[in-house]
């Protein structure tokens, strides 16, 4: 079931210390589809991507995915 009407942000972190996180707001473009104009992988390597925010009923939301092998 798609998540609709949420207020979300995305944060990307390298899987090693020393890099500042990349943070951007996600905008819902169609029901359940969210995009960001400001998120960019700033370095090649392995990243941990977190999506956090609030669902329409006020429930906190969080998801995480590991993204390996980003080209640089």
Q: What does the DSSP assignment read for the chain?
A: ----S-EEEEEEEESSTT-PPEEEEEEEEETTEEE-SS----SSEEEEEEEEEE-TTS-EEEEEEEEEEE--
Residue 4 has pLDDT above 90, yes or no: yes
Question: Would you list the domain boundaries of the chain?
Answer: 7-70
Residue 6 has pLDDT above 90, yes or no: yes
pLDDT band, very low/low/confident/very high, at 57 (cuts 50, 70, 90)? very high
Q: What is the mean pLDDT of the chain?
A: 94
Residue 28 has pLDDT above 80, yes or no: yes
What pLDDT is stored for residue 14 in this prediction? 94
Residue 29 has pLDDT above 80, yes or no: yes
Residues near 34 by Cβ (< 8 Å), separated by ≥ 6? 6, 8, 26, 27, 28
């Amino acid at each position: 079931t798609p998540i609709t009407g949420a207020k979300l942000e995305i944060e990307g972190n390298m899987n090693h210390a020393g890099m500042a996180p990349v943070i951007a707001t996600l905008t819902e473009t169609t029901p359940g589809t969210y995009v960001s104009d400001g998120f960019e992988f700033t370095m090649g390597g392995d990243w941990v991507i977190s999506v956090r925010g609030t669902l329409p009923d006020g429930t906190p939301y969080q998801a995480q995915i590991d993204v390996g092998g980003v080209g640089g």
